Structures are given as C-alpha cells and as structure tokens.
C-alpha cells in the first residue's frame, strides 16, 4: 500500500537520482580534472570548469533536500546514520567544503598559473573523495551492520566497523565510477573541438568499463557484505528482468559512445544510472537502515508527513520550471555560440 | 575538553563562520539589484560595473556559505542525534521550506552570475530579485527553526513521548516573528554598513571616483534605513524574551534578584559565585520599562532557578552589551548620514564622516555574532528550552575534539583565503570619473 512515508521516500529516491545525474556529474568533472593529461590538459580543465560553473550550486541542493527529508520524515534513521557513520560523513563534508570553495577560489584567483594549479588540485582531489564517502555511507546503510533498538533509538555501534569493510568501499568506488562516466559523457557534448571530444570519448569508455567491473565486484561482495540487498538483487521476482534491462542499457550506452553517437549516449547513460540507483532502492525496500529500521517503523506521524508532501508538491511547481530554465539557458542548444563571450567575462 | 564541550564548540564555530556568509548572501543581492535597477533606469555604465563587481565578491561568499550551510545541516545529526530524533519532525516544516528557498536562491544565482550575456536584461534583473527573495526567506525559515528551540510549541508530551505534532503551530511559535525580523534586518544593516565602510575608505583617497560614490550611496542608504528599523525589532525581541524566557533576559541584564522597578545595567561584571553584578552603571527602573512598558513591572532574577538551570551569565551579559553598543553606533552613523545628506543635498562625503563610516565596517557583523551568542548561550543549558538539555542531545561518538579541531583549522584556512581574495578584488576596483 502506498503510505505517506513511502511517498516521501519516493521523493527522496528521485532526489538522490537527480543528485547523481547532476551533482554526481559535477564531481565527475573534478575527477577528470584530476586525470587531465596530454597536450590538451589545459583545455580539458577549462571545458570542465565552464560546464559546471553556472549549475553546480543548484545541483548541490538536491543533497540538502535528501538530508532534510530524512530527518523530517525518518528522524530515528537520520540519528542512527549520523551516529554510526559519523566518520565517513564528516570526511564527505570536508570534501564538499573543499570542492566548492576551491572551485570558486580558482575562478576568482587567477593571479598566476601556480595558484591556479594548486586550487585545481584541491578541487579535483575533493571531487574524487566526496562521492567515495557518499557511496561508503550508502553501502554501510545497506550492509546490515548498523543495529538500532527501535524503542529507545539507541544505536549499537563502534563507529568504525559498519563502514570500514569491503562492501561499503566497493559501493564508494562504484559511485566514483558512475560520476566519472556521467561527466565524461556529458562533456563530449560541451565542445565543438573534435580532439577534445575524443579525449572524453576515451574517458567515457574507460569509465563505462569500470562501472561494469565495480557493479560486478559489488554484487559479489554483497553476498557477505550486504545479505539483505543480495536477497533483493538475486531472488526477487523482478530482479532478473531488472538486471537484464540495466545490463542491456549499459551495453547499448557503450556501443553509442564507441560509435560517437554522443547525443544518444547522453540519454542512455543517465537511464543506466537511474536504473542502478532505483534497483538499489527496490532491493533495500522495506528497510531504510538494514536490518532494524524500516520506512514504516521510523516514519514521522502523518500529521507531519501530510503537510510536508503538500510543501513538496507546491514547491515542486516553483522549483521544476526554475531548474529547467537554468539548464535551458546554460545547456540548451543555442549555448555554444556564446561560449567564447562567457570565457571573456570570467 | 569533554565531548559535550567539543560538540558545542564545533557547533558554535560552524554557526559563527556560516552566519557571516549567510548574511552576505541575504543582503548583497539587494545592493546588486538596486545597482542593476539604476543601470536599467539611467543607463549609466557605472551602475552596471558596480553590479558586476559586487557580484564577483558575492559569488565567493555565496559558495562558501552554501558549503558551510551543508555542513551545519549534517552537523545537526552528527553532533546532536538525540535532539534531531526528537525535534526533526516538529521543526521539519521550516527546514523543508528553507530547502526550497535555498534551492531557488542557488538556481537564480547561477543565472545571475553567468547569465549577463545570455538572458534578456529584465530577466537578469528578475533573477537577482529571486536570489534576494530566496536568500531572505531561506534565512527567515532557518531562524524560525531556531526560534522553536527557544519557545517550543506545536506538540504535546504524553508519557515522555512526543504526540499531537502540529508543524504549523511549531513554525509559528512565539519567538519566530521577533527573531526572524531581528536577524533579517541585522543582515541588511551589517552588510550595508560593511560595504559602505569599504567604499568610504576608498572615497577618502579618491573622492571623485564615481564607482565608489555610487557604491557608497547605495550601501549607506541600505545600511541607514535598516539601522533605523532595528531598534523597533530589538524592542519586540526584548519583550518576547521577557515574556517567554525570563531567565535569558535576567542573564542578558545580569539581574540576580527578582525585583520591581529593575534597573538597566550598562557594563558591569557579573560574579556567578557571589551571585551579584559589580561596577555596572544602573539606570533606575529602565529595564522594567523596556521589558514590560511599566516602570514598576517585576523582572525575574537568576536566583529564581537553581544554578544548573542558569545560562553562563558573564558571556550572555557581555555579548548583549556588545551587540547593543555596536547597534547604537550604527544608528548614530545612519542618522548623521541622513542629516548630512539632507542638509547639503549631496552625498555625505565629509572626510570625518567617511572616517566614521570606515570605522563602522565590522560593527554590524560583530553585532550579529554577539546577538547570536545571546540567543544561543542564553538558551543554555537547554537545547529545547525547558524540555531537553544540551547534555542529553549530544552524540555518543567519542573523541569529538578531533572533528572540532579539523573543522576549525579548515574554516580558519578558508577565512584567510576569502579575505585575501576579497581584498584583491576590492583593490582592483575601477576608476571612473565624471567627464563633464
């Protein structure tokens, strides 16, 4: 039955997917800044910067939406996650702070190449660490090692073992490869320069293969590391068709990247990422934090959830057109003609 | 350092850091929108230059504000999980609304900063208005959530469990209006005078530079208008505190005894062991009058509650004095500026006045920090006033001194960089002169 808390959980899952597709790609941009090589390293970095500059702050807010909905609608789960995963979350926050600050410092601090390179390095390293920590957190939540007494809300944790394990780290690296793939595919369409396009095509292929590898590794490790998820992924009636669908989309995406059908790839790769995150959500249901906390046993009362859902509905009416307008202005088709003007401006 | 103290120090430090950037994010868009509006109206190039120059500084401040705000939203759980498990649903409404307001702010800031050549001029100005509205409402909603911690309403407790949650009633708690009003005005006031002060500094050296003249005119007007509004909101706030948090008021005024016709204390050193305040200049009956509009009204003293239920009196008393002192200087600066402008029918650029406004540059922000100290330290030892103690809200996580030190070093580092970058930008400001 579709309860109010499941509606909120659905909004959270959709927000997480959008965050991956937008904010995740911004982190991916940072990863490719870190691995910018060859004769066009400088233009690669410039392309990344121009691509994410106008949108990264808006993309970032999806994460805040998820956190707020978590503590409003599932307060006990929020408290348990923040307690048991204090360390990876703190590292993630430091990553978020350094990534954002270094990016804007770099934009406005162009006195010399040395300082520019130094901020680039901070931006790039922080961009790589943050999604890994986010993935570790999600992996730990799925792993079934965070035990909570639902009556008292008491968390049984040593603050380390829940996340310092192979499965959460595999999910962390999986997240990293997804971000890198999204960014590389998006970046192929951010430039008219075919040499640059080729650079990111190669990177997209590498990332796509890594995503496959990490997906396989995560699945293998889930047998020991996240038994509940494994049951969901392996045995549910929907699981086999779902895996086939995800795999087919992934292969098709690689095929389009290989054949330089970048516009199609930019549609397929987000679908692939959506299916992966969505599949994880399905496999985890009905648990929010395995094995003790479910959506229903941690949900806030309906008197809280109903007005929140109304706010989400009304807010969405304002937000979606605004978010769409932002993308239409900076990612629309008429964009490239003004690119040079923009570079002169900053 | 105990874990509780480390957690409190980390929260205090994170808030003290973020509040500067948040205030700038709220108020700078107003200055930018005015400058751009003047450009649209007069077509004087200097206004466009000004809006663009201010936008650069704002971009840096906004980014640091956004990421440090993210840290705070996580820290609520990382440091105070028991508080959030209890209060999360009750104060979820203002936080959710804040999420939307901040979202709109971030979206339109992207359009504003990078859309100069991409969207129509009016749409760009409108984007600036949306940033202003998003930032202002974002601040109002967050302060509303904090107000609930001071005057918790909208729920009942049956057998130690929260029931009958009414999120709207929680949001409209008795402190929401007064706190949100006071903080929002404070943001515009502080930023107005900080910007005016910086441009006043340059005007003293370069009095004919149109860029600084226009900037000074806009910023000083904003600062002065809000300076004149602030005593009204301060009065509303004081009366609310007197009614709903009498012990906080007693700490602000270092009032130990319950008495009728209580005096207003200027200065003075509270002695928390001897339970008395020495060396204060006392204005007879003024506190009773200010708090209750009655010279003989009864004011509750700190001795009414046991020691363990009192906030740290010295900190709250000094912070309150600092806030009021800064506020009074800014009000005087606003009045003098208005009077000079009216008398000479021109921008008040008398050298002594420019020097005075330059001196005022940091005062608004000092007042904001001091005011927040009054609100937050004055609420202690409670995290939810009279319901949950701060000590009961803290995470069981050990070694909290480690994240406290890490974030402190990180924020000091960021502060230095921001100051260096802003300084460089300010010193590169354009030189534009009237040709006729």
Judge whether B123 and A100 are in contact, CB under 8 Å: no
Q: What is the mean pLDDT of residues B107-135?
A: 95
Best to test chain A binding among B13, B79, B80, B100 (most A CBs inside 10 Å): B100
Q: Give exposure, B73-93, as e/b (b: 16+ Cβ within 10 Å).
A: bbbbbbbbbbbbbbbbbbbbb
Asked whether the beta carbons of residue A97 and residue B414 sit closer than 8 angstroms, the reply is yes
The first and second tokens of residue A126, run together, are: 């922080």
Q: Which residues contact A118 (CB under 8 A, 6 or more apart)?
A: none
Element (H, E) at B158: strand B156-158
Q: Which residues contact A235 (CB under 8 A, 6 or more apart)?
A: none
Positive or negative torsion for Cα A327, A328, A333, A334: negative
Q: Give exposure, A142-175, as e/b (b: 16+ Cβ within 10 Å).
A: bbbbbbbeeeebebebebeebbebebbbbbbbbb
How far B83 CA sits from the closest chain A CA (Å)?
9
Asked whether the beta carbons of residue B114 and residue A300 sit closer than 8 angstroms, the reply is no
Asked whether the beta carbons of residue B89 and residue A80 sit closer than 8 angstroms, the reply is no
* Contact residues, chain B, for A302 at CB < 8 Å: none
What is the Cα–Cα distance from B101 to A315, expressed in whole angstroms? 9
CATH 1.10.3470 fits A4-307, yes or no: no
Mark which residues 56-115 of B lie under 8 Å from A by CB.
56, 59-60, 62-64, 66-71, 73-74, 76-78, 81-82, 84-90, 92-93, 95-100, 102-104, 106-111, 113-115
The pLDDT of residue A337 is above 90 = no
The one-character DSSP state at A336 is: G
B9 vs B426, higher pLDDT: B9
| Percent of residues, chain A, with pLDDT higher than 70 | 95
Asked whether the beta carbons of residue A109 and residue B421 sit closer than 8 angstroms, the reply is yes
The pLDDT of residue B249 is above 50 = yes
pLDDT digits (tens, 9 = 90+) for B283-319: 989 999 999 999 999 999 999 999 999 999 999 999 9
The pLDDT of residue A235 is above 80 = no
Q: Which residues contact B87 (CB under 8 A, 6 or more apart)?
A: A75, B148, B149, B384, B388
| Percent of residues, chain A, with pLDDT higher than 90 | 68
The pLDDT of residue A334 is above 60 = no
The first and second tokens of residue A46, run together, are: 């410039």
pLDDT digits (tens, 9 = 90+) for B167-201: 999 999 999 999 999 999 999 999 999 999 999 99
Q: Which residues contact B424 (CB under 8 A, 6 or more apart)?
A: A109, A111
Q: What is the mean pLDDT of residues B100-114?
A: 95
What is the Cα–Cα distance from B36 to B47, expressed in whole angstroms? 6
Closest CA to A69 of A288, A305, A290: A305
pLDDT digits (tens, 9 = 90+) for B322-374: 999 999 999 999 999 999 999 999 999 999 999 999 999 999 999 999 999 99
What is the Cα–Cα distance from B81 to B88, expressed in whole angstroms? 10
Of A73, A82, A315, the CB nearest to B81: A82
Q: How many CB atoms lie within 10 A of CB B389?
A: 17
Q: What is the mean pLDDT of residues B239-256?
A: 94
CB pairs under 8 A between A and B: 212
Q: What is the mean pLDDT of residues A11-24?
A: 96
Q: What is the mean pLDDT of residues B36-56?
A: 94
**Left, alpha or beta for B164 (phi > 0: left; psi -120 to 50: alpha)?**
left
Asked whether the beta carbons of residue B85 and residue A326 sit closer than 8 angstroms, the reply is no
pLDDT digits (tens, 9 = 90+) for A186-227: 999 999 899 999 999 999 999 999 999 999 999 899 888 898
Closest CA to B49 of B299, B218, B262: B218
* Contact residues, chain A, for B59 at CB < 8 Å: 104, 107-108
- What's residue A171's pLDDT? 95
The residue with tokens 């909208």 is B154
Closest CA to B27 of B80, B65, B77, B72: B65
The residue with tokens 């959500």 is A281
The pLDDT of residue A335 is above 70 = no
Q: What is the mean pLDDT of residues B160-164?
A: 84
- What's residue B426's pLDDT? 84
| Percent of residues, chain B, with pLDDT higher than 90 | 87
Q: pTM score, two decimals?
A: 0.93
The pLDDT of residue A333 is above 80 = no
**Left, alpha or beta for B261 (phi > 0: left; psi -120 to 50: alpha)?**
left
A2 vs A79, higher pLDDT: A79
Asked whether the beta carbons of residue B397 and residue A97 sit closer than 8 angstroms, the reply is no
A239-258 and A227-235 helices cross at what angle (nearest 10)?
80
Cis bond before residue A291 (omega within 30° of 0): yes
The pLDDT of residue A289 is above 50 = yes
Q: Which residues contact B421 (CB under 8 A, 6 or more apart)?
A: A105, A108, A109, B60
Q: Is B325 exposed, middle or buried (0-12, 13-18, 19+ CB in 10 A)?
A: middle
The residue with tokens 């309906």 is A302
User: Rounded mean pLDDT of chain A?
Assistant: 90
Q: What is the mean pLDDT of residues B97-120?
A: 94
* Contact residues, chain A, for B403 at CB < 8 Å: 86, 90
pLDDT digits (tens, 9 = 90+) for A24-45: 999 999 999 999 888 898 899 9
Beta bridge partners of A287: A294
- What's residue A346's pLDDT? 34
The residue with tokens 């005022």 is B360
Positive or negative torsion for Cα B212, B215, B218, B224: negative
Among A237-246, A314-323, B39-48, B213-222, the least confident range = A237-246
Among all residues of chain A, which has the CA nearest to that of B420? A109
A335 vs B263, higher pLDDT: B263
pLDDT digits (tens, 9 = 90+) for B367-394: 999 999 999 999 999 999 999 999 999 9
Domain ranges of chain A: 4-307
Task: State phi, psi for A3 to the nearest 5 degrees.
Answer: -85, 170
Judge whether B379 and B311 are in contact, CB under 8 Å: yes
Q: Is A6 exposed, middle or buried (0-12, 13-18, 19+ CB in 10 A)?
A: middle
What is the Cα–Cα distance from B245 to B317, expressed in whole angstroms? 15
- What's residue A135's pLDDT? 96
- Classify the complex by whether its ipTM is higher than 0.85, answering yes or no: yes
Asked whether the beta carbons of residue A307 and residue B396 sit closer than 8 angstroms, the reply is no
Domain ranges of chain B: 3-427
Judge whether B412 is closer than 8 Å to chain A, CB to CB: no
Closest CA to A176 of A309, A291, A28: A28
DSSP string, B312-381: -HHHHHHHHHHHHHHHHHHHHHHHHHHHHHHHHTS----HHHHHHHHHHTTHHHHHHHHHHHHHHHHHTT
Of B81, B88, B113, the CB nearest to A54: B113
Judge whether B27 and B223 are in contact, CB under 8 Å: no
A56-73 and A302-331 helices cross at what angle (nearest 10)?
170
- What's residue B435's pLDDT? 65
The pLDDT of residue A112 is above 80 = no
- What's residue B432's pLDDT? 82
**What's the angle, vertex CA A242, arms to CA A239 and CA A243, rounded to 5?**
85
Classified as helix, coil or strand, A155 is: strand
Asked whether the beta carbons of residue B164 and residue A303 sit closer than 8 angstroms, the reply is yes
A262-284 and A166-188 helices cross at what angle (nearest 10)?
160
């Amino acid at each position: 039955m579709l309860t109010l808390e499941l509606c909120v959980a659905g909004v959270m899952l959709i927000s997480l997917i959008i965050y991956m597709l937008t904010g995740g790609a911004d982190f991916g941009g940072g990863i490719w800044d870190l691995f910018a090589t060859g004769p066009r390293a400088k233009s690669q970095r410039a392309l990344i910067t121009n691509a994410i500059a106008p949108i990264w702050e808006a993309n970032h807010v999806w994460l805040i939406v998820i956190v707020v909905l978590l503590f409003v609608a599932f307060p006990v789960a929020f408290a348990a996650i923040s307690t048991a995963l204090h360390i990876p979350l703190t590292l993630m926050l430091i990553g978020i702070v350094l990534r954002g600050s270094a990016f804007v410092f770099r934009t406005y601090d162009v006195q010399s190449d040395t300082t520019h390179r130094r901020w680039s390095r901070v931006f790039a390293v922080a961009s790589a660490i943050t999604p890994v920590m986010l993935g570790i957190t999600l992996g730990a939540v799925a792993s079934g090692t965070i035990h909570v007494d639902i009556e008292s809300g008491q968390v049984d944790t040593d603050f380390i073992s829940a996340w310092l394990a192979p499965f959460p780290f595999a999910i962390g690296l999986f997240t990293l490869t997804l971000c890198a793939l999204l960014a590389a595919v998006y970046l192929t369409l951010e430039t008219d320069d075919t040499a640059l396009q080729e650079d990111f095509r190669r990177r997209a292929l590498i990332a796509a293969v890594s995503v496959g590898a990490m997906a396989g590794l995560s699945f293998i490790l889930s047998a020991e590391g996240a038994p509940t998820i494994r049951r969901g992924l392996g045995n549910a009636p929907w699981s086999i068709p779902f895996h086939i669908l995800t795999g087919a989309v992934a292969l098709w995406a690689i095929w389009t990247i290989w054949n330089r059908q970048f516009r199609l790839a930019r549609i397929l790769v987000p679908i692939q990422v959506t299916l992966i995150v969505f599949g994880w959500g399905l496999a985890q249901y009905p648990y929010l934090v395995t094995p003790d906390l479910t959506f229903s046993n941690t949900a806030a009362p309906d008197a809280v959830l109903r007005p929140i859902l109304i706010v989400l509905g009304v807010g969405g009416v304002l937000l979606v057109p605004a978010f769409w307008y932002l993308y239409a202005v900076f990612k629309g088709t008429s964009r490239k003609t003004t690119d040079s003007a923009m570079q002169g401006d900053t | 350092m105990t874990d509780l103290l480390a957690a409190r120090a980390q929260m205090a430090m994170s808030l003290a850091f973020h509040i500067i950037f948040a205030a700038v994010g709220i108020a700078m868009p107003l200055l930018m929108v005015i400058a751009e509006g003047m450009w649209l109206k007069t077509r004087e190039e200097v206004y466009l230059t000004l809006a663009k120059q201010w936008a650069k500084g704002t971009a840096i401040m906004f980014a640091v504000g956004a990421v440090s705000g993210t840290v705070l939203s996580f820290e609520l759980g990382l440091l105070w999980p028991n508080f959030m498990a209890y209060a999360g649903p009750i104060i979820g409404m203002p936080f959710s609304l804040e999420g939307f307001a901040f979202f709109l702010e971030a979206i339109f800031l992207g359009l504003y900063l990078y859309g100069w050549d991409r969207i129509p001029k009016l749409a760009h100005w409108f984007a600036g208005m949306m940033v202003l509205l998003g930032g202002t409402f974002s601040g109002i909603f967050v302060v509303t959530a904090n107000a609930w911690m001071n005057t918790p309403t909208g729920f009942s407790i049956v057998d130690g469990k929260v029931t009958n949650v009414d999120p709207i009633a929680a949001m409209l708690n008795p402190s929401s209006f007064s706190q949100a009003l006071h903080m929002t005005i404070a943001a515009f006031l502080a930023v107005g005078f900080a910007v005016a002060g910086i441009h006043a500094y340059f005007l003293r050296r370069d009095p004919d530079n149109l860029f600084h003249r226009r900037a000074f005119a806009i910023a000083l007007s904003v600062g002065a208008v809000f300076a004149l509004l602030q005593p009204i909101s301060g009065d509303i706030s004081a009366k609310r505190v007197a009614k709903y948090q009498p012990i906080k008021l007693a700490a602000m005024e270092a009032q130990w005894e319950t008495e009728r016709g209580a005096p207003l204390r200027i200065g003075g050193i509270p002695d928390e062991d001897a339970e008395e305040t020495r060396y204060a200049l006392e204005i007879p009956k003024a506190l009773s009058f200010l708090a209750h509009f009655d010279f003989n009204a009864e004011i509750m003293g700190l001795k009414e509650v046991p020691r363990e239920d009192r906030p740290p009196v010295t900190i709250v008393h000094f912070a309150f004095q600092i806030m009021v002192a800064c506020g009074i200087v800014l009000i005087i600066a606003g009045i003098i500026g208005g009077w000079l402008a009216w008398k000479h029918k021109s921008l008040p650029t008398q050298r002594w006045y420019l020097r005075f406004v330059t001196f005022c540059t940091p005062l608004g922000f000092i007042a904001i920090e001091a005011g927040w100290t009054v609100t937050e330290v004055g609420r202690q030892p409670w995290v939810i006033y009279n319901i949950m103690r701060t000590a009961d809200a803290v995470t069981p996580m050990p070694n909290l001194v480690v994240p406290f030190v890490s974030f402190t070093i990180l924020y000091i580092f960021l502060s230095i960089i921001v100051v260096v970058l802003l300084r460089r930008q300010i010193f590169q400001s354009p030189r534009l002169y009237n040709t006729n």
